[in-house]
Structure 1
């Protein structure tokens, strides 16, 4: 008895090189597997951008603070340097003025009671008296350098008996290259007292002159015995401008 071979062995069909079930046999529906889930990348870049923005802002602020600090430090340094420069200028000016004052050509002579002849003799070194760049010689001041000089003289006359004598106070100059003397300043007084009472009169002379080298300046008065020779009352001097 022949057995139905078709019944015992299922039919196999090849489609495109791959075996498949016979068309009569229903095939199971194909299930396409879902692809793996893709992470949401739209959120992460935004977070990174925010972080980068915050970091950039922080760095910018730090840089701004650093530059501000450097700027303030430079300003303070510049200000200190300016103040130091001003102090140096003030100190230099003070030293220069001090040196000029020390080296200034000037003289101040005070009254000397030990004299009996004219012109008046003076004290050149004691008390307030001094000479700087000027020679005191032969009862006068000798000019060492041509220039402008302010010359002054003060004399105090006093007496116990009033008389009609004229009081004369003269400052004059001499020069070896010229003959005679030349009056620079003069003061004459009359009617300076009344009656028999004690009297006193001050005579002051002062003016600016152009003096030449080797000029010598002297002071004459009408009568030596009427002079008060205290250093604060009778003096003679000059200074170069």
Structure 2
């Protein structure tokens, strides 16, 4: 048996609290408007004062950054100026040192130191100009003497060691003299004489040193004489001759 499942549902109307449409219902009351939305109190609207504060803060930060940049720039400039001044000072010192070095080199060229030469046979004394401590710089060694090539003040020195095994009455003489092609003869610059230098027939030794300042002319030649070559010790540290220009 088949049942009818199509039910007819009664229509229900609800009009302003009146369920029966056939009965008279009181007039409908006016519908109240929806309330305004409640503002979100978690976000407060920014006021003008807060906006001004934020703007002032931004401007202050920009000014601070600008001043910091200016300060760093000034610091870099001062540091670079200091380094530049130090470099200039160093260069100036090097320049003056170079000038002094060049000046000293020029002065060093006018000097000579000769040492004893044991192979000689006659006077004036012969000298060693290049070996050992001997040298010539701006001064020429020629014909057993030192030749001046520039007029000026020179300090001239000579040292001779006399040594013997027997005593006698002979005078020991040590002389430095100069010659010049423009003037005849020779001129004694320094002289030393030794008397009573030994006793009792024993080994003896006596040193003779001469040194003084002279104004020498170009082409002057300086030489050394002794009284007896056989009594001279020709070791380079004991018998020598030289000069240098002031």
Bin for the TM-score computed over the shorter chain:
0.7 to 0.9
The corresponding residue for 2:22 is none
2:121 matches 1:116: yes
156, 160, 166: which one pairs with 1:155? 160
The corresponding residue for 2:71 is 68
State the Cα RMSD in Å.
2.1
> How many Å separate the matches in 1 of 2:198 and 2:78?
74
Query: Once the two structures are superposed, what CA deviation does each residue of 1:199-234 show, in whole Å capped at 9, x if it has no partner?
Result: 222222111111111111111112111111111111
The structure-2 alpha-carbon separation of the partners of 1:203 and 1:67, relative to structure 1 and needing over 3 Å to count, comes to: farther
2:191 matches 1:186: yes
Query: Once the two structures are superposed, what CA deviation does each residue of 1:15-40 show, in whole Å capped at 9, x if it has no partner?
Result: xxxxxxxxxxxxxxxxxxxxxxxxxx
The structure-2 alpha-carbon separation of the partners of 1:59 and 1:166, relative to structure 1 and needing over 3 Å to count, comes to: farther
Aligned length: 199
Q: What runs of 5+ residues in structure 1 fail to find an aligned partner?
A: 1-42
Report the Cα offset of residue 115 of structure 1: 1.0
> How many Å separate the matches in 1 of 2:51 and 2:208?
101
Query: Once the two structures are superposed, what CA deviation does each residue of 1:136-166 show, in whole Å capped at 9, x if it has no partner?
Result: 1111111111111111111111122233322
TM-score by length of 2: 0.72
> How many Å separate the matches in 1 of 2:204 and 2:151?
41
146, 164, 173: which one pairs with 2:169? 164
TM-score by length of 1: 0.74
Structure 2 counterparts to residues 38-187 of structure 1, below 5 A: 44-103=47-106, 104-187=109-192
Task: Tell me the SS of whatever aligns to 1:197.
Answer: coil
The corresponding residue for 1:199 is 204
> How many Å separate the matches in 1 of 2:165 and 2:88?
64
Report the Cα offset of residue 48 of structure 1: 4.4
Report the Cα offset of residue 89 of structure 1: 3.0
The structure-2 alpha-carbon separation of the partners of 1:94 and 1:46, relative to structure 1 and needing over 3 Å to count, comes to: same
2:210 matches 1:236: no
The structure-2 alpha-carbon separation of the partners of 1:74 and 1:200, relative to structure 1 and needing over 3 Å to count, comes to: farther
> How many Å separate the matches in 2 of 1:221 and 1:143?
22
Moved more, 121-130 or 79-88: 79-88
Q: What runs of 5+ residues in structure 2 fail to find an aligned partner?
A: 1-45
Report the Cα offset of residue 175 of structure 1: 0.8
The structure-2 alpha-carbon separation of the partners of 1:118 and 1:68, relative to structure 1 and needing over 3 Å to count, comes to: same
The structure-2 alpha-carbon separation of the partners of 1:179 and 1:50, relative to structure 1 and needing over 3 Å to count, comes to: same
Moved more, 217-226 or 196-205: 196-205
